[in-house]
Structure 1
Amino acid sequence: MGNMPLFVFFKDIRNVFKADELGLEIVHIALPTLLALLADPVASLVDTAFVGHIGPVELAAVGISIAVFNQVSKIAIFPLVSITTSFVAEEDATEELRANEQVHENVENGTPISMEMEMEELVPLVGKSSSTGMVKLEHVRRHIPSASSALVVGSVLGFIQAVFLIFAAKPILNYMGVDSNSPMLKPARQYLTLRSLGAPAVLLSLAVQGVFRGFKDTKTPLYATIVGDVANIILDPILMFVFHMGVRGAAIAHVISQYLISLILLWKLNKQVELLTSGVKDLRFGQFLKNGFLLLVRVIAATFCVTLAAALAARQGPTTMAAFQVCLQIWLAASLLADGLAVAGQVSNGF
C-alpha cells in the first residue's frame, strides 16, 4: 500500500499539522483572512434573506444586479489586492533590512543607536525579533510607495466603475437577459445604480486590505469588515421595512457599510504608513499595470462563467434567477475557504 503513487500525496502529512514557528505564523495570518473573506458572503446571504421576504421578483433582480456588479468589480479587485500585497511585503521587508543594517553599522562604529536614529529621522526600534532574527519595526509610519500607489489606483478604478455602471445599467441588464418588459428591470436597475455608488469605497478598502496583508496584519481588515457588515445587517431591515425602501434600502445599507469599512481602514493605515508621497516618481504605476495584466486575464476567465450562468438563469424568469441567487451566495461563501492559506503563502513569500 505504501508504494502506491496515491500515497505520495500523504507522505509526511504529520508535518502539515506540526505546531512549529512557521505553522503558527501561517495560522495567525490565514485564520483572520479567512474570517474576513467569509464576512462579506455571510452579509450577502443575510441581504438575500431580507430581500427574499419582499418577493421572488425582487430577489431575482438583486441577484442579477449583484452578478453584474461582481463581474465588473472582480476584474479590478483581484489583481489590485494581490499585487498590492506582494509589493508591500517586498518593500516592508526591504525597509526592515535597511534599518537593521543601519543598526549593525552603528553598533560596529560604536555609535549610540537611539542618537543615530534621531539624527537620521528614523523611527524607534522596538526590541522584538522576527522569525528571521531581524529586529522588527513597530509603531512606525513607514515609507511604502506601493501603499500610496494602491490607494490611487483603487480610487480611480472605483470611480470609473461607478460612472460606468450608473450610466450603462439599463443596457447591461438588457444584455444579461432582463429586457424592457421584464418585471425585474426596475428593481434591478435601482439596486445596481445605488450599489454602484459604493464602488470607490469597495476598491479603496480592498486596496488598503492588500497593504495590511503585506504587513502580515490580517486582524485589522477583519475587525473593520465585521464592523461594516454588522452595520449593513442592522440597516437592512430598517431601510427596507421601516422606511419601506425595498431593494433601494438594501443597496444603500451596503454602500454605507463599505464606506464605513474604508474610513476605518484608512484611519488605521494612516497611523502606520506615510500615505502622501513626495511625487509621482515614487509611485509604482508601471509595475502595477505590468504585473496586473495576466491576473486580469485570469479573473475575467474565472468570473465570466458565473456571469454567463446568471444571464442564462435570468432568461428563464424571476423564479429561476431567485433560486440561482440563493445557491450562488452559498457557493461563494464555501469557495473562499482556501483563500486564507493563499494569502498566508503570498505574504510569507515576500519576506
Structure 2
Amino acid sequence: MWISKNCLLPTWVLASVVAADAFIPVSGLHRNSKSIASNFLPLSTTGSCRLKSIETSGKDEDSFAEEIPRGGSSVLKDKPPALPTWKDYRKFAIPCLALWVANPLLSLVDTSFVGLSAGAAESATQLAALGPATTFFDGATYLFAFLNVATTNLYSSAIAQKGEASDQAEAVVTTASRVALRCGIGIMLFLWAFARPLLALYIGTYRIVLYCIGFYSLLDSAVAYVKIRAFSLPTSLLLGVLQSALLGAKDSVTPLIAILYSTVVNLIGDFLLVKIFGMGLRGAAIATLVAQLAATAALLGPARKRLVRDGSLRLWKKKTIVTANGDDSVVGGKAFLGFAAPVLTLILGKLAAFGFMTHSAAAVPGQPTSLACHQILLSLFFFVSPFMEVISQTAQTFIPPYLAPVTDYLGFVVATVVASLASLIPAYFGGILTSDTVVTNSVKPLAKYLWAGAFLTAPVAVAEGILLARRELKFLAGVYL
C-alpha cells in the first residue's frame, strides 16, 4: 500500500541509506588506496602479482578467441602498465556521464515541453503519442549500438597494441564511420517506408480502438515525429561511432563539448517551436533533429584531427593499407560483424522488454492517461540508466590493455542515489512534466516501481561492461535469449 505523502520522503531517505549500507563493505569506506583495483590486489608490486590476469596460467591466455582481439598485447611484459587511479577514473567518468545523460535529457526536455505547452486534455494526448514514437525510434537506433560497442573495444585494443597514431587504430575509425553512415541511410529509408504500419503494430491497433476514439490522430502524430527524426539517423550513427572512438582513446571531454552544443540548440528549438509557435510533437521532432545535426557538426572537426592523421574519415571509399612488415592485423568490416550478432541479441532482448511494456500500457483502459504515465516513467528511467551505464563504459575503456579488478559495490551506491532522486519526481513533482492532474495523480503510485527498476539496473550494467571488455559476447548474448 502506498505510504501517505507526509511520511514518504523520510521513508525514502531511510530506505536509500539502508540499501547503500547493505552493499558497501566497511573496509571499502576506510581504505586509503590509490586505485580501485588495490582493494583486491596483494601489497606486492612485482609484475607477477599486480594483476589477476597475469597470475593466471599460460593456458588461459591461449584460450582467448583470436577472431576479435581482446585488448592489450599478445605478449605480456615483465612490468605491466600502472593501474588507473581514482583520479583517472573520475577524469574520464564524469564527462562521460554527462555525455550519456545528454540524449535521455533531450527526450525528457521534449516530454516536459510537450506536456506543459498544451492544455490539460491535449497534454495527455500529446504525451500518449510521444511515448510510442520515442520508444520506437530509439529502439530502431539502438539496434545499431553494436557499432558503438565494437568501436570502443576495437579502438582501445588497437591503441594498446600498436599506439594511437597507427594504421590499425585509424582503420577502426574509418571503417566504423563508413559502416555507420551507410547503416544510417538504410534505416532512414526503411523508417520512411514502413513507419506507419510498424507503429500501428507496435502500439496495438485493435486494443487502442476500443479504448481511445482518437487512435488515428495519435498514430498520425507519432508517425510524423518518427519520420522527421529519421532524417538525423545517418549523422546520428556517425556521431555515435566518433564518440565511441574518442572514449576508447580516453577522451570524454571532446564529445561532451559537442553534446553541449546539441543541448543548447534543443532547448532553444523546443522553446520556439513547441512553446511559442505551438507545433507540438512536430516542433519537438524538428528541434531534436537540428540539435543532433549540430552535435555532429561540432564533433566532426575535432574528431578528424584527433583520430586520423590525414584528416579524412573516408566515408565512401576504403583506404588500402600496406604495412612494411606485412602485418595484416588492420581492422576491417569483419571485426565489426563479429560484434553484431551477440550484441544485437542483447539489444533485441532489451527492446522486446520495452516493446511489451509499451504494448501493455496501450492495452490498459482509460487512454490516453495510461500511455502518458508510461511515457513519463520511461523517460525518467532512460534518464537514470546512464548513471549506471557510465560504469559499464569505463570498464570497456580501461580494461582492454589489462584486466583490472573493479569495485563491486560502486554500481549499487550510484544506483541507490539516482534511483531515489528520480523516483521522487513522479511521487512529488509530476507537475513539472505534465499539466494534466489526472496523469499526475496516476503516475504517483508508480514511483516505487521506477525506484526498483533503476536500482536493479546497476549490477546488470556493471556486469555487461566487464563482459563486453573481455569479449565474452556469446555468454552475454545467451543471457538475453
Q: Same fold (TM over 0.5)?
A: yes
Q: CA deviation at 1:16?
A: 7.4
Q: CA deviation at 1:95?
A: 2.8
Query: Please, what TM-score do these two structures have when normalized by structure 2?
Result: 0.59
Match of 1:75 among 138, 143, 147: 143
Q: CA deviation at 1:260?
A: 1.0
Distance across 2 between alignment mates of 1:83 and 1:22: 25
Distance across 2 between alignment mates of 1:322 and 1:243: 23
- In 2 relative to 1, CA 174–13 (structure 1 residues): closer, same or farther, beyond 3 Å? same
Aligned to 1:84: 151
Match of 1:271 among 305, 325, 329: 305
Question: Paired residues, what number?
Answer: 304
Q: CA deviation at 1:308?
A: 1.4
Q: Which amino acid aligns with 1:42?
A: L
Say if 2:204 and 2:363, in contact at 8 Å, map to a contact too.
Answer: yes
Say if 2:361 and 2:374, in contact at 8 Å, map to a contact too.
Answer: yes
Question: Superposed, which structure 2 residues align to 1:111-260 within 5 Å?
Answer: 144-177=170-203, 179=205, 182=215, 183-260=217-294
Aligned to 1:323: 373
Q: Which amino acid aligns with 1:299?
A: I
Matched, 1:66 2:134: yes
Distance across 2 between alignment mates of 1:329 and 1:259: 22
Distance across 2 between alignment mates of 1:7 and 1:241: 45
Aligned to 1:107: none
- In 2 relative to 1, CA 198–16 (structure 1 residues): closer, same or farther, beyond 3 Å? farther
Match of 1:37 among 86, 92, 100: 100
5+ unaligned residues in a row in structure 1: which ranges? 1-5, 97-135
**What is the CA deviation profile of residues 189-235 of structure 1, one whole-angstrom value per residue up to 9, with x for unaligned ones?**
11111111111122111111110011000111111112101210111
- In 2 relative to 1, CA 40–17 (structure 1 residues): closer, same or farther, beyond 3 Å? farther
Distance across 2 between alignment mates of 1:315 and 1:172: 17
Say if 1:29 and 1:217, in contact at 8 Å, map to a contact too.
Answer: yes
RMSD of aligned C-alpha atoms?
Answer: 2.6
Distance across 2 between alignment mates of 1:56 and 1:322: 6
Q: Which amino acid aligns with 1:331?
A: F
- In 2 relative to 1, CA 68–266 (structure 1 residues): closer, same or farther, beyond 3 Å? same
Matched, 1:285 2:319: no
* More moved, 7-16 vs 315-324: 7-16
Say if 2:203 and 2:358, in contact at 8 Å, map to a contact too.
Answer: no
Distance across 1 between alignment mates of 2:180 and 2:137: 16
Q: Which amino acid aligns with 2:273?
A: L
Match of 1:93 among 160, 165, 180: 160
Query: Please, what TM-score do these two structures have when normalized by structure 1?
Result: 0.80
**What is the CA deviation profile of residues 164-204 of structure 1, one whole-angstrom value per residue up to 9, with x for unaligned ones?**
11111110111023638613111111111111111112211
Distance across 2 between alignment mates of 1:82 and 1:150: 11
Q: CA deviation at 1:143?
A: 5.3
Q: Which amino acid aligns with 1:186?
A: D
Q: Secondary structure of the residue that 1:234 maps to in structure 2?
A: helix
Q: Which amino acid aligns with 1:63?
A: G
Match of 1:13 among 24, 28, 52: 28
Q: Which amino acid aligns with 1:247?
A: L
Distance across 1 between alignment mates of 2:242 and 2:30: 34
5+ unaligned residues in a row in structure 2: which ranges? 1-20, 36-83, 322-327, 402-481
Aligned to 1:111: none
Say if 2:261 and 2:298, in contact at 8 Å, map to a contact too.
Answer: no
**What is the CA deviation profile of residues 84-128 of structure 1, one whole-angstrom value per residue up to 9, with x for unaligned ones?**
0011111122233xxxxxxxxxxxxxxxxxxxxxxxxxxxxxxxx
Q: CA deviation at 1:12?
A: 4.2
Aligned to 1:338: 388
Aligned to 1:295: 343
Q: Which amino acid aligns with 1:157?
A: C
Aligned to 2:355: 307
Distance across 2 between alignment mates of 1:62 and 1:272: 38
Distance across 2 between alignment mates of 1:223 and 1:47: 21
Distance across 2 between alignment mates of 1:16 and 1:345: 21
Q: Which amino acid aligns with 2:170?
A: I
- In 2 relative to 1, CA 73–7 (structure 1 residues): closer, same or farther, beyond 3 Å? closer
Q: CA deviation at 1:323?
A: 1.0
Q: CA deviation at 1:162?
A: 1.1
**What is the CA deviation profile of residues 242-269 of structure 1, one whole-angstrom value per residue up to 9, with x for unaligned ones?**
3342211110110111111111111111
Say if 2:124 and 2:368, in contact at 8 Å, map to a contact too.
Answer: yes
Say if 1:75 and 1:300, in contact at 8 Å, map to a contact too.
Answer: yes
